[in-house]
A and B are shown apart, each in its own frame.
Chain A
Amino acid sequence: MDPKLIRNFSIIAHIDHGKSTLADRMLEITGTVQAREMKAQLLDDMELERERGITIKARAVTILHEKDGVTYQLNLIDTPGHVDFHYEVEKSLQACEGSVLLVDASQGVEAQTVANAYLAIEADHEIIPVLNKIDLPHARPDEVAEEIESSLAIEATDAIAVSAKSGANVDLVLDRIVERIPPPSGDPEAPLRALIFDAVYDEYRGIIVYLRVVDGSIRARDRIRMMGTGKVYETVEIGRFSPKMKKCESLQAGEVGYFVSNIKQLGDVRVGDTLILDKGPAVEMLPGYAEPQHMVFADFYPTNPGDYEDMRDALETLCLSDSSLSFEPVTSDALGFGYRCGFLGLLHMEIIQQRLEREHDLDMIQTAPSVTYQVLDRHGEEHWVHSPGALPPPDQYEELREPIARVSMLVPTEFIGPVMTISTDHRGVFVRQEHLSATRVQIVFDIPLAEIMYDFYDKLKSCTRGFGTLNYEITGYKADDLVKLQILVNGKEVDALSSIVHRSRADTRGRAVLKKLRKEIPRHLFEVRLQAAIGSKILARENIAALRKDVTAKCYGGDITRKRKLLEKQKAGKRRMRQVGDVDIPQKAFLSVLGGESKS
């Protein structure tokens, strides 16, 4: 196809503003999907996406739209709206020249509207603002158009008002895409350069590589090389998404599609890499993607130690299609061998955990999310500290720093007071406040990431009756009065239970941890002493009295097996219990401490 007739665009918006529904209508109007195959949010085909009603992965699809007697090829990418998946948005934007910025006309501009719009501006996109859900009685398109102009400086007076639900005016959006978004600028005659913007693993066909051809073209049975990994393959099949994979002869500059090459080695494909012809002339690598910045870390341990290898395979497979996930091996005294994973946020973490369990049938234990700290040592060098256990003694460092997030909250004006309160309660420092319109205000705070990880978002939601939204980015690391809260069991420090906390919180947290442990650690033959301490200063104690009576009255031949199993039950597989000195600590006890914070 002539590149002049191609348009590549992403649909971006705040969560739930109707991107996937708009994509549905576009698929329908252009006849890409037959009416009987149509279902709501068709592109959300992952089980978890359908269950939760949100988009998790960006999906590309090719549609054909006729305007003034000319057929155009439109490559559409539906992106997720949730902040945790913004890396998907970033990746998608690089494969396009323009974006449809969708805004729910009843909700107005929200945090991710702003964040994603800025990503599109940075990517030099032609942005087409579209107001959605005008069928709703409380839709206020004019007001929202003004909000777009004032908060984003994007011309919105002629924004198209649509209903993605009914399909009203969606054809106008397609026309405008053709009119406004520039065709791809690549050179069809130049040597092949294509951007790998996604990949998924298929058990039968190997890795399916999603690509956007920038220059030249790619055909079946081409020998191609991935510049970054240096791997060479012959393309077995190439094709487009319609939205199912559909074979084609070739993909030209500007087009979006896939290729299959029976690649089984997960490491051979890297999202962001540049694809070229193996024997072709030297070309410059495409810029690719910036490393994702992981906000949240948590450890995954297989419940069955024998699953350790399977877990690695599963994580590698997930990493392929979700390059924003990172993992590395960890060992814990308490939980054995596992992986420390980096996520973009809590929802991302939850999704990965569920995908491991469902798609890879793994049973696992997950520790509470934690952030990465930084220490400045005596020689002025900075080191990362991923877990409290790795923190050197206080006399060996100058400063202990924590990540600070710049949190931008969009809320109706009447909730300014409560939002200020929860922000300062979470050690937030006020940055600024701006009115987007008469009724909506943007409040910006710098808040330690550790403080917003657990329940901040829930609190914001509840103190604004569900209207508040937030977006955040890490702005840097800052020293504060942070201490390592140690937990000692019969005088022995248990690293897996220790945490890094602000000094002002140490006391409360220490007490809470001991209470939980006291509940979960069974009585022993001897007294078990629990202590929470900072260095040599004991903040709290609890004792678990020694067992006084624990004896089976009857034990005869008929019952030996069952009685033995009962006695062994507390252990039932090595992983259920960890020994610290002579004390057996059940895994439940660790989890109540490591994972329990969010619930307390």
Chain B
Amino acid sequence: MPPPIPSRAPRGTPLYVHLPFCAAKCHYCDFFSVADEGQDLEGMIDAILAEAHVRAPHAPRTVFLGGGTPSLLPIPLLRRLLDGLEQVTAFRDHAVEVTAECNPESLDGEKARALLDLGVGRLSIGLQSLDDDILRLFGRVHDAAMGLCAYEAARDAGAPNVNVDMIHSAPGLPTRTWREHLRRILDLEPDHLSAYTLTFEEQTRFRTWLEQGRIERQAEEVELLQFAITREACSAAGLEAYEISNHARPGRECRHNLVYWHGEPYVGIGPSAASKLGHQRMGNLRAIPAYLGAIERSGTAIDWLEELSPVRRLAETWWLGLRLSEGVDPARARASAGFEGAGEDPALAEAERLVERGHLERVGERYRLTPRGLPVADAVARTFLTRLH
């Protein structure tokens, strides 16, 4: 039985829009996207707008166009999408942050200006590396120079808020080189820098290659070192780490992504997009024909839905919250999780044990990861996710 069609989320709920097309599939990427060649982009935009019609909240606080590569859409299609969204949600007057993910091969001055004109205020550009060999290994279709060009184009177009995505610990990337690349990126004075440790996700080429021994993962020490260096360098440049992989100038933290880490509700539309509403998480069909078909039939394409138990909500709140430098306030975690256990807060006991071990520290009412806890944040999260009853 298909899950019930969700009702429209309350006014102001953040909106995510998933555009599942890229110029080519990167070898490390496990987001849902396919190469755009031969795809019916227009049909997809119309389907997404049809879904928006049924599900998009009015006056969303934030909007995020992700994917995939939204910048790959030609300007007329971008206009069709954003004007269409405007009609349904009136986001242009209400959203405090509207982000579009962009890739160097599809971001020039004209595209950047168009995006800004259409109501996008924040451009997130995937540079990933400044080393051409590594970019090739990654399966990116641009080189380092193109990446830098795209950044300049965004700034020249007047983009007020720009993020750069980078990946460290790539096979063969010396720490010295990473330090140097970081410096060059930070010299560009982005408002925000997302720097990820390279991961080898299931069902990616990188995972297969790793298992076949065709590529080699960096030693744990190197990953840790490059991670630590990133935080230091960003901090020195005025971009504090506010999340495990995210750094921003004060006030430039990504408002939309904070919604995820705070465990707040959001609506996602487009293939594979996930939503959180009330105590439920749900997600759309991934496969493009399945998604298009479902939208045509019913205007929605929900594929799965899970109802979170109170304990799980509480554990999740701690897991996601601890990714943030601000940490977790237990009372607020309980409130946001809707955890009404009469007795003791089960998360508190775990948190205290982790304080004793030196993985968490208490600052005022809040608990947060210590420098020792940070590199093992998942293991810390696991103690909440698996031990709370």
Contact = CB atoms under 8 A, between A and B. Distances in A.
Given A551-B244, A568-B386, A525 B306 contact: no
A560 B320 contact: yes
A169 interface: no
Contacts of A553: 196-199, 244-245
Nearest to B323: A555
A550 B385 contact: no
A563 B237 CA distance: 31
B245 to A, nearest CB: 5
Contacts of B274: 557-561
A564 B385 contact: yes
A578 to B, nearest CB: 12
A492 to B, nearest CB: 16
User: What DSSP secondary structure best describes chain B's contact surface?
Assistant: helix
B386 A550 contact: no
B196 A561 contact: no
A557 B260 contact: yes
A553 B220 CA distance: 14
B374 interface: yes
A577 B273 CA distance: 33
Contact of B245 (A524, A554, A561): A554
Contacts of B196: 553-554
B375 A549 contact: yes
Contact of B199 (A547, A554, A558, A577): A554
Contacts of B245: 553-554
B316 A550 contact: no
Nearest to B202: A566
Nearest to B384: A567
B375 A560 contact: no
B268 interface: yes
Nearest to B18: A558
A548 interface: yes
A582 B320 contact: no
Given A525-B380, A548-B220, A549-B224, A560 B374 contact: no
Interface in A564-592: 564, 567-568, 570-571, 577, 579, 582, 584
B260 A551 contact: no
Contacts of B66: 558
A556 interface: yes
Given A558-B273, A560-B260, A567-B385, A549 B316 contact: no
A567 B18 CA distance: 25
B31 interface: yes
A552 B199 contact: yes
A491 to B, nearest CB: 16
Nearest to B359: A525
B354 to A, nearest CB: 8
A549 B320 contact: no
A555 B220 CA distance: 20
Contacts of A549: 220, 223-224, 375-376
Interface residues of B, number: 49
Contacts of B91: none
Interface string B328-372: 000000000000000000000000011001010000000000000
A153 to B, nearest CB: 67
Highest count of chain B CB atoms <10 Å: which of A551, A577, A584: A551
Contacts of B16: 557-558
A555 to B, nearest CB: 6
A103 to B, nearest CB: 57
B377 interface: yes
Contacts of A548: 220-221, 224, 375-376
Interface in B254-274: 257, 259-261, 266, 268, 272-274
A560 B316 contact: yes
Given A524-B379, A549-B224, A550-B376, A556 B306 contact: no
Given A554-B199, A559-B274, A547 B260 contact: no
A567 B378 contact: yes
Interface string B263-293: 0001010001110100001010000000000
A489 B79 CA distance: 63
B19 interface: no
A570 B386 contact: yes
A419 to B, nearest CB: 48
A237 to B, nearest CB: 46
Contacts of B260: 555-557, 560
B235 to A, nearest CB: 18
A467 interface: no
A526 interface: yes
Given A561-B283, A568-B385, A550 B224 contact: no
A584 B382 CA distance: 11
A27 B220 CA distance: 72
B319 interface: yes
Contacts of A547: 376, 379
Nearest to B373: A525
Contacts of B223: 549
B381 interface: yes
A555 B320 contact: yes
A525 B355 CA distance: 12
Contacts of A525: 354, 357, 359, 376, 379-380, 383
Contacts of A571: 385-386
A523 to B, nearest CB: 8
Contacts of B376: 525, 547-551
Contacts of A524: 379
Contacts of A584: 386
Question: Among A547, A552, A579, which residue has the most Cβ atoms of chain B within 10 A?
Answer: A552
Interface in B232-262: 244-245, 257, 259-261
Interface string B315-328: 01001100100000
Contacts of B382: 567-568, 570
Interface string A525-555: 1100000000000000000000111111111
Nearest to B270: A558
A554 B374 CA distance: 14
11 contacts: A525-B354, A525-B359, A525-B379, A548-B220, A549-B220, A549-B224, A553-B197, A553-B198, A558-B32, A564-B316, A579-B387
Given A552-B377, A553-B196, A567-B386, 5 more contacts: A525-B359, A548-B376, A554-B196, A557-B266, A567-B319
Interface of B: 16, 18, 31-32, 66, 196-199, 220-221, 223-224, 244-245, 257, 259-261, 266, 268, 272-274, 276, 281, 283, 306, 316, 319-320, 323, 353-354, 357, 359, 374-383, 385-387
Lowest 8 A-B CB distances belong to which pairs? A553-B196, A571-B386, A557-B260, A551-B377, A550-B379, A553-B197, A550-B378, A550-B376
Interface of A: 524-526, 547-561, 564, 567-568, 570-571, 577, 579, 582, 584
